């Protein structure tokens, strides 16, 4: 399906691996020019090389940046002044209970994901509003709606980003901008492996028994989501085929968030 994204400019954070890398691949296939950001220069260079080989002629720039730092957020926005699509994806909240997560961990995680999303959105939104065109997609996480005290930092932060997305997306159409969110459930990435291993460690004292966990054994359709499935949804939401969608968050978890 041609989504009409050819020639659009997309900035994707956390783009060197996992969901961000999958989104970059789908957007490149749709003909988007890409600006890829993450902390890891070598991983970005490898991702860009793979994308250029698979999609000759697509313009790709890389932007190594620590998006927990306000200066880096602002510098990234200046380096990409006329983007059509912003995908906020950088950040991974560590698992743990209230007693286990200390103050420094809360602040470091939220500097990257919570304030990284908010500050980069602020920095890019003004230009989009001036052009009266743009789409902001926040890749958040289903823990914000299926709250989990064992993942209290992630649940709390994701719930806040869901509120941010809905609030801004309710007003942004007045500026010609759409703001939407995606809440992936467990998705087959390195991050998911780390998370289920932490659950296994909490339940069994070892990281390698996660296949025995009830929440894994009962996954919808017997599997995690594929990163490509999240990426395909992001491409649709970025397109004019989703032109009347704003302030909405789509959950892609096989229905798990609604289980009791």
Residues designated catalytic: 151
The answer to whether residues 58 and 33 touch, using CB atoms and an 8 Å cutoff, is yes
- Between CA 21 and CA 28, with CA 24 as vertex, the angle to 5 degrees is 145
Instruction: Give Dmax (Cα) for the chain.
Output: 54
Cα 234 from Cα 183, distance rounded (Å): 11
Residue 135 CA, distance from chain mean position? 14
């Amino acid at each position: 399906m041609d989504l009409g994204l050819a020639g659009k400019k997309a900035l994707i954070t956390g783009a060197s691996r996992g969901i961000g890398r999958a989104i970059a691949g789908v957007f490149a296939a749709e003909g988007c020019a890409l600006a890829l950001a993450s902390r890891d220069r070598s991983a970005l260079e490898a991702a860009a090389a793979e994308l250029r080989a698979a999609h000759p002629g697509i313009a790709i720039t890389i932007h190594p940046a620590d998006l927990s730092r306000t200066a880096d957020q602002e510098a990234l926005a200046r380096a990409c002044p006329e983007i059509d699509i912003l995908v906020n994806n950088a950040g991974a909240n560590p698992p743990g209970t209230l007693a286990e997560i200390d103050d420094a961990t809360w602040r470091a995680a939220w500097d990257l994901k919570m304030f990284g999303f908010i500050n980069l959105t602020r920095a890019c939104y003004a230009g989009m509003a001036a052009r009266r065109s743009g789409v902001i997609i926040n890749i958040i996480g289903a823990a914000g709606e299926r709250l989990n005290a064992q993942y209290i930092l992630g649940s709390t932060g994701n719930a806040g980003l869901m509120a941010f997305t809905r609030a801004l997306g309710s007003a942004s159409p007045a500026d010609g901008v759409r703001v939407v969110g995606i809440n992936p459930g467990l998705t087959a990435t390195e991050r998911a492996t780390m998370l289920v291993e932490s659950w296994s460690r909490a339940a069994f004292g070892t990281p390698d028994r996660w296949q025995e966990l009830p929440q894994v054994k009962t996954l919808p359709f017997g599997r995690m989501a594929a990163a490509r499935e999240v990426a395909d949804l992001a491409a649709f939401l970025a397109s004019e085929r989703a032109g009347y969608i704003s302030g909405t968050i789509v959950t892609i978890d096989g229905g798990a968030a609604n289980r009791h």
